[in-house]
Structure 1
C-alpha cells in the first residue's frame, strides 16, 4: 500500500514550517507500530478488526470481558433470526421494502452484528462454518438484489452512501479471509459506486460537511484498506481537513475560526456548540457520531504514512471538554442538543452517552500527557456516576478493554461537575450543581427551533420555547418512554398557546427575534440567561429570563401577550418515579391519585417529592394535574417508532395567563433537589428579590451577598445598574471586590454601555475590549462586543 504524494492541507493552509508542530496520534487500542510507506494493508485491516472485536487476545478469564463476549453472541442470536438467502422478497422477512432505504441499512447492520460474533473468540458463533456460509450467502443476496452498481437507490441517500456502506465494510473486514477475491471485488465496487469520494455525498454530489464528511471518509478509508489503496487513504486524511476546499469544510477547524475558511457553519464552534443541518444544535446527535467515527479513523491511520497531522486536531480537546462534558448529566446527554434522536426508542436510556464515552476512550492514547489524563479523569467519572446504566455491562469488547485500562489508571476521576456553561452559538445553557443539573433551550434568528425530518420527532414543537430540563437523582427520568408520553404542549419552562399543532408544524424555523443568550461568571455557577419569545404560527410574544444563582433559579417573565387561545407558562412537568410522590402546596399535601386536578389559588410554595421546591414570592394561581399518560413511539416517529402502548405517570404544574393576554408575567424561584423544609424556609424569606420586570429589563438581587443579575431587553435601569440597550449583566460583590460580567445576547451590537451607580470603585482587571470612565457617583463601563457572538466579557473592581 503506497501513499499518494502531493499537496496536503498543511502546505495549503499552514505552510511547510507547521510540520514541526504536527501531533502524531498512536491511537490504536492495542500496541501501535509505525508502518513504512509500503506497509501492508493487512496490518490496517487487523487494526480495524481489533476496533470491531477487541482483538485476538481478549482475556476471557476476566468476568467482565467474558460477559461482553457473551453479549456479542446474544446480539448475533437476535440479529440472525429470519435470515434466509433463499427468500426472494428480502433477506429478512421484516425488511422487504423497496421504498424504505433503512431496510437496506438494517439488513447490512444485522449481517455485521452476526459477523462480529463469528469473529470474536469465545462466542458460540466463533468460526462456525455453517454461519460463515450463511453470512456469505447473505452478502451475495444483498449485492444481487439490493445494493451495488446495478441497483437504483431510493429514499434516503444516507442509507446508501453511509449506513449500508459502513456495515458492509465492517462485515468485509470481519470475513476478509473467507470472502474470496471475486466477492471482495463485488463488495468494494458496490461501496465505491455509492461513496467514491470522501469530500462529497448524495446523488447530486454535494460537499459533505460535519458528521457526514467523517462518515463518508470512514467509508472510503475502510474500502481503501480492503483494496490496498494508499491513494484513497491520503484522500481521506486530506478530506478531514478539506484540502480540496482550502479548509472551508474542515471537520477539525472550528467553524468560527478567524482565518476566513469557515464553510457552511456545520460542525464544532470554539464555545463547544455543534450545528448540523445548517442551524440545528446537535452535539448529542450528529456531534457524538462525528466524535465516534473520527476516533475510529484516527486509530486506523495513526503511526502510518497517512497519520492526521493537522494542527487543528488539537481542537478535539475543546470538543470534549466544552462540547460534551457540560452537556452530560450523570450519563444522560441533555435532550436539547439531541435533535430528532430524542424520538427514537433506541436512543433513550443513556445510549447516546455510551457513544461519547467509547469515543473518548479511543482518543486517550493519542493525546499524551495532560490531555490524556484529562480524558481519563473524565471517562472514569462518567462511568462511575451513571448508576442507571452500567457502561461496563453494555459496551462492546474493544471499548471494554479500553475502559478497564482507564479504570486501572492512577489518574483520579474528575469528580462531580459544578459549572454554569452557556453555548451562545446554539442558544443553549447548562447549569450543574452537586445535587442537580439544569438545561435551558432557546432559539433565535440564528438557530432553528427543532428538527422533524424523515417522519421523526413529529411533536417537537416547543423544544426551544424556553424548555427547562431538570436532571436529579432520578437518572432514568428522561428514559423509559419519556418523550412519547410527556405532554408535548406543556414542556417544563415553556410559555405556549394551549393546543396541539399539526405533526412537524414549524420545524426548521428560526425566530424573528435576535435576543437569546446570557452572561456567566467564570469559575462560578452564576449565570443570567434569557430569550425573547416570538412563537411560531402565533401572535404570542414574551420575555423570559432564568437567573441561575447556584442552587436557586429565578424565573422571570413579562410582556406575555397575544396568542389566539389560552396562554400557559409551565412551571413543571415531571415523569414520576413514584406515581404517588407527595405534592405539598403551602405545606399541605394534596391527592396523590391519578386524575387529580385542581386550581391552586394564592400559592406561595410547592414541593414535589424527589424533584424539589418552587417558591412564589408573589402568590400565584397555579393549576395542577396528575395523570397516567399513554402513547406509542409511532406517534412521534413513523420511521423508527413502535406500536406498543406505554403508560407513564406525570405531575404537571402551570400558570394560566388567560386567552390572548396583554402584558402578563410571572416570577418564581425554582429550588431543584431542595427539601420541603428548605423550600418553606425560602418562602418565608426569599433568597432572591425581584428588582425589575418590564419590557426594558428583568433584574433580581440575591439577599445573601447583594449580587445583581439583569437582562436588558432595551435601554433601561434597575436600581444602581443601567444599560444603553440589549445586554445581559451580572454584578457580584465579594467584600471590597466587585466582579462585573456582560454580554450582548443579540450578537448584533458593536458595544454595550453600562452605568454602575456605586461610588469609590477602581479597576483591578479587565478583559480586552472593556473600558471604564467616571460617571456621576459611579462608573461608565463600555464593552466592545463586536464579533464576540454573545461571549461574556469580565471586569474586576475594588472599593478604595
Structure 2
C-alpha cells in the first residue's frame, strides 16, 4: 500500500502565480499517435511548470512575500551549507546515508529541489547562483549513478521508487533544464520511464491498477516527464490517465464510486479500500488535478473530460465539509495524525492552496464560492496563520483574494452531515463543531504501518473531536501525549496493546460490526449509532449520539465483557496545553488543584471545564475526574523512515472525565450530554431543567425527546416501539413536528435491511414531498415504507402535513 510522504505535504502548498504563461500549441485534444507539436510548446510548458514552483514574476520587495522568501532562504541555506561537494563523497548529505536507501535518495532529491527552487525564485538569496546550479546538476548525476537508475531493482517501500523520487527529480529538471546536458536529461527520463511509466499500473505489481491519489500522483509525474523530455505521447498518457482511458474509465478520478477508492456522492473519500482519507490522500488527489489543470490549460493536452466536475463538486461536498476554519479534521487524516511535521493546520493550509489553485481554471460560479470559502478559512485561523505556512506561489494567489474587497469571506457552515460511505459524522454549530470517527466491517478503525500511527488503536471506536475557539487542541502535541486508551467518546477495554504498524508495509483493522452511521433531519439535527466489538476482547457495546442545536447527547447500552478487565467510557480528555490552568469543577466543586490523582464523584450530576463547556449526567453517574501531566515524544507514535517524529519529550496537561463500568460488566450503560461553550451556571441550569428527555437506553433502542423542538430521535437495534414510533427492524429514525407539518428522516446504518416500515405517533393528512424510496400511508397512525436496500446507509426523507 501507499506510504504518504512529507514531500506530498510540501507539494500541497505549491502552485502557480496569478498570471500564467501562454501555451499556444493549439486548442485541440492530442492523442498518442498525433503529430508532435513544435519544440517551443514544451519550452512554454516548462516555463509554466517553473512558475508553478516559484510563483513567477513577483515583486520580492512586496512585504507579503517576506515570510515565504525568508523561509525558502533559510531552508536553502541550511541544505547548501550541509551539502557534501567533495570528490570522494558517498552521500550528498551525511544524515542521508547510505544514499542507496530508498528514503535517503528520495529525500536527497527533495533537498536538491529546495536548492533549485531557491536558484530559480526571484528575490531568493541563491537566485541565479551558478555555483548552486552546478552543484545541483552534479548532485542529480551522483544520485543517478549511485542510487536511482533503470538498472536498480525496487526494494523497500515502492512509493519512494515510483512516486517520491521521480516527482522530485522531474521538478528539479524543470527548473534547471537548460543547465543539464541532453544525455543526462535522457537518463533521467529513462529512470522515470522505468519506475513510473504511466499512471495506470503499479510498476512492481503490474496487475494492480492505480487508484485515487496514487493515480493522480503518477499522472503529474508522467506529465512532467513529457515536458522535460519533449514527449507528446507522455503528456497524452498523463492526461488520459486521469480519466483511465486505458481501462475504459474503470479507475477514472472523474467519476463517483460506490465502493473502493475515490470520491462518493455523499462527500466521502476513501483510499486503501477502507480508510476515510479526505484529508491526506484526498488532498493529494485534489492538488494533482488542480496542478495539471493549470499546467496543461490551453495546450494540446488540456483536460477536456467533463467528469472533472466531480473534482469541482468535491471542494464543498468533501473538503469544506471536513475543514474547520482552515484546519483539516484529524478524523479524516488517517495515520498522518502521527506525523510530527504534518499537523492539522499543515494539511488545512494545503487544502486552501489547492482550492485557490483549482479556482483559477474552474467555472466562474464555482471559483467565486471557493475564493470566499478560502478567504473565510484564512481570516478565521489566527492561531496558525495561513501565509507563514505556504510558499510564494500560494501566497500570490491568496494575497490577491485577501486584498479584494469584492470577495466576501464565507462564514463557517452550520448543519449536520452524515458521511455514510466513510463512517464519519460532522455536526456544525456557529461556535463549535463535533466530528465522530466510527468504523465497521466496511471502514477501518485505523490504519498503521511502516512505523506510523503506532497507538491509533481506538481512533475509530467512536472518538469525538470537539473543535472550538481552541484551534490548537489537536495540533499542540496532542497525539504523542494523550492517553491513547482514553480518547474522548470511546468505550474501551483497558487491556495493554502492542504498538501497531511497526513492521514494513501498511495495514488496516476493520471490526466485525455492521452498524456505523445514522440519519440527518432537515440538514440540522442528527442521530448516529455504532455497535462496538472490541479488538481482541469480548467487549460489546451499543453507542448512540444525538446532535442538537446546543448539545450532543451520548448514550451507551449493553456494555458487556468477560475478560476480567476494567471497561471505561471516556467522556472527555482535553488538551490543556503546557500551562493547564483551566478551572475544572464537578457539581460546583473545584478539582483544579488535584493533579496526577483521579478523584471519584459518585452520583455526579454535572461537570464543567473552563474554556470548553459543560457535561451533564442525567440521573447521576459515578464519574472519575483526573488532571494529569502527560509526557511523550512524537517518536513514540511514529518511527517512519522519513516521517519519524522527534525524540524530544514534551509534556501537556489533560483534563479527563470517564465512567468506570467495572471489571467484566454485564449490560452496563451510560448517558451524558456535551454542552460546548456553556458556562458553569448554564450547565447547572441545564442539568436541573433537563430539556432533553432520554426515552430509551437499552440494547434494543436508544432514544431522546426534545419537547421544545417537537423532536424525537431513535436508533432501533431491533424491531420495536419507542415514544410512539414503531419500527419493523433496525434503523435510525428522526421525527420533528411543527405547525407546518412533520419532517421524517430514516436510515439503515447497518445496511442489513431491504425495507423498513416506520409507524408514526402523530396523525398526518397528506404528503408534501418524499424521496423516491419512501411511500406513505397517511392517517391517524401514518406508516412510512422505506426501501433502504442498496442505499448504503444514507438518509431517506419525507415531509408530511
TM class, shorter-length = over 0.9
Which residue of structure 1 aligns with residue 682 of structure 2? 678
Structure 2 CA distance for partners of 1:684 and 1:265, relative to 1, 3 Å? same
Are 2:157 and 1:156 equivalent residues in the alignment?
yes
Structure 1 residue 407, shift from structure 2 partner: 2.1
Structure 2 CA distance for partners of 1:706 and 1:769, relative to 1, 3 Å? same
Are 2:796 and 1:793 equivalent residues in the alignment?
yes
Are 2:38 and 1:35 equivalent residues in the alignment?
no
Query: 1:665-724 deviations in whole A, cap 9, x for unaligned?
Result: 011111111111211110111121100111221100113223101111110111211111
Equivalent residue of 2:500, what SS?
coil
Structure 2 CA distance for partners of 1:235 and 1:507, relative to 1, 3 Å? closer
Equivalent residue of 2:453, what SS?
coil
Q: Note if contact 2:90-2:99 (Cα within 8 Å) is conserved in structure 1.
A: no
Structure 1 residue 99, shift from structure 2 partner: 7.1
Equivalent residues in 2 for 1:396-435 (5 A)? 396-409=391-404, 410-435=406-431
C-alpha separation in 1, matches of 2:20 and 2:422: 40
Structure 2 CA distance for partners of 1:773 and 1:461, relative to 1, 3 Å? same
Structure 1 residue 760, shift from structure 2 partner: 4.3
Structure 1 residue 603, shift from structure 2 partner: 0.6
Which residue of structure 2 aligns with residue 575 of structure 1? 575
Query: 1:332-370 deviations in whole A, cap 9, x for unaligned?
Result: 211111111001001115100011111111111211221
C-alpha separation in 2, matches of 1:591 and 1:378: 39
Q: Note if contact 2:243-2:254 (Cα within 8 Å) is conserved in structure 1.
A: yes
C-alpha separation in 2, matches of 1:28 and 1:314: 23
Equivalent residue of 1:223, what SS?
helix
Q: Note if contact 1:517-1:790 (Cα within 8 Å) is conserved in structure 2.
A: yes
Query: 1:593-634 deviations in whole A, cap 9, x for unaligned?
Result: 431421111110000011110011110001111111111111
Equivalent residue of 1:778, what SS?
coil
Q: Note if contact 1:29-1:362 (Cα within 8 Å) is conserved in structure 2.
A: no
Query: 1:125-168 deviations in whole A, cap 9, x for unaligned?
Result: 11112211221221121111111113333211101110111111
Residue among 304, 325, 333 paired with 1:330: 325
Which residue of structure 2 aligns with residue 96 of structure 1? 97
Of 490-499 and 142-151, the range deviating more from structure 2: 142-151
Which residue of structure 2 aligns with residue 723 of structure 1? 727
Equivalent residue of 1:345, what SS?
coil
Equivalent residue of 1:669, what SS?
strand
What CA RMSD, in Å, does the superposition of the two structures yield over aligned residues? 1.7
Structure 2 CA distance for partners of 1:406 and 1:232, relative to 1, 3 Å? same
C-alpha separation in 1, matches of 2:335 and 2:233: 37
Which residue of structure 2 aligns with residue 62 of structure 1? 62
Q: Note if contact 2:614-2:676 (Cα within 8 Å) is conserved in structure 1.
A: yes
Equivalent residue of 1:614, what SS?
strand
Equivalent residue of 1:52, what SS?
helix
C-alpha separation in 2, matches of 1:507 and 1:752: 36
Instruction: Note the residue ranges of structure 1 that are not aligned, 5 or more in a row.
Output: 1-25, 257-263
Equivalent residue of 2:106, what SS?
helix
C-alpha separation in 1, matches of 2:542 and 2:681: 32
Of 144-153 and 671-680, the range deviating more from structure 2: 144-153
Are 2:709 and 1:708 equivalent residues in the alignment?
no
Structure 1 residue 774, shift from structure 2 partner: 4.2
Structure 1 residue 386, shift from structure 2 partner: 0.9
Equivalent residues in 2 for 1:125-274 (5 A)? 125-205=126-206, 206-256=208-258, 265-274=260-269
Structure 1 residue 182, shift from structure 2 partner: 2.2
Q: Note if contact 2:16-2:393 (Cα within 8 Å) is conserved in structure 1.
A: no
Structure 1 residue 570, shift from structure 2 partner: 0.2
Are 2:444 and 1:448 equivalent residues in the alignment?
yes
C-alpha separation in 1, matches of 2:666 and 2:68: 60
Which residue of structure 1 aligns with residue 288 of structure 2? 293
Equivalent residue of 2:360, what SS?
helix
Structure 2 CA distance for partners of 1:113 and 1:563, relative to 1, 3 Å? farther
Equivalent residue of 1:430, what SS?
strand
Q: Note if contact 2:765-2:778 (Cα within 8 Å) is conserved in structure 1.
A: no
Equivalent residues in 2 for 1:621-770 (5 A)? 621-639=622-640, 640-770=644-774
Structure 1 residue 74, shift from structure 2 partner: 1.4
Query: 1:557-586 deviations in whole A, cap 9, x for unaligned?
Result: 000001511100000001104412111111
Equivalent residue of 1:97, what SS?
coil
Structure 1 residue 412, shift from structure 2 partner: 1.1
Equivalent residues in 2 for 1:548-563 (5 A)? 548-563=547-562
Q: Note if contact 2:331-2:437 (Cα within 8 Å) is conserved in structure 1.
A: yes
Equivalent residues in 2 for 1:40-55 (5 A)? 40-55=41-56
Structure 1 residue 29, shift from structure 2 partner: 4.0
C-alpha separation in 2, matches of 1:511 and 1:169: 42
Which residue of structure 2 aligns with residue 545 of structure 1? 544
Structure 1 residue 635, shift from structure 2 partner: 1.2
Which residue of structure 1 aligns with residue 495 of structure 2? 499
Structure 2 CA distance for partners of 1:509 and 1:388, relative to 1, 3 Å? same
Query: 1:177-196 deviations in whole A, cap 9, x for unaligned?
Result: 21121222222222222111
Structure 1 residue 479, shift from structure 2 partner: 0.8
C-alpha separation in 1, matches of 2:467 and 2:562: 31
Q: Note if contact 1:254-1:315 (Cα within 8 Å) is conserved in structure 2.
A: yes
C-alpha separation in 2, matches of 1:80 and 1:676: 56
Q: Note if contact 1:461-1:507 (Cα within 8 Å) is conserved in structure 2.
A: no
Structure 1 residue 546, shift from structure 2 partner: 0.6
Which residue of structure 1 aligns with residue 31 of structure 2? none
C-alpha separation in 1, matches of 2:112 and 2:676: 46
Q: Note if contact 2:702-2:715 (Cα within 8 Å) is conserved in structure 1.
A: yes
Which residue of structure 2 aligns with residue 304 of structure 1? 299
Structure 1 residue 483, shift from structure 2 partner: 0.5
Which residue of structure 1 aligns with residue 529 of structure 2? 530
Are 2:454 and 1:458 equivalent residues in the alignment?
yes
Q: Note if contact 2:517-2:530 (Cα within 8 Å) is conserved in structure 1.
A: yes
Q: Note if contact 1:514-1:532 (Cα within 8 Å) is conserved in structure 2.
A: yes
Equivalent residue of 1:451, what SS?
strand
C-alpha separation in 2, matches of 1:419 and 1:736: 21
Equivalent residue of 2:395, what SS?
helix
Of 390-399 and 219-228, the range deviating more from structure 2: 390-399
C-alpha separation in 2, matches of 1:699 and 1:465: 21
Equivalent residue of 2:124, what SS?
coil
C-alpha separation in 1, matches of 2:170 and 2:608: 54
C-alpha separation in 1, matches of 2:327 and 2:113: 27
Structure 2 CA distance for partners of 1:35 and 1:762, relative to 1, 3 Å? same
Q: Note if contact 1:80-1:111 (Cα within 8 Å) is conserved in structure 2.
A: no
Equivalent residues in 2 for 1:77-92 (5 A)? 77-86=77-86, 88-92=89-93
Tell me the number of residue pairs that the alignment of Structure 1 and Structure 2 aligns.
763
Which residue of structure 1 aligns with residue 11 of structure 2? none
Are 2:776 and 1:781 equivalent residues in the alignment?
no
Query: 1:163-215 deviations in whole A, cap 9, x for unaligned?
Result: 11111111111111211212222222222221111211241222111100011
C-alpha separation in 2, matches of 1:32 and 1:735: 60
Instruction: Note the residue ranges of structure 2 that are not aligned, 5 or more in a row.
Output: 1-14, 27-36
Which residue of structure 2 aligns with residue 584 of structure 1? 585
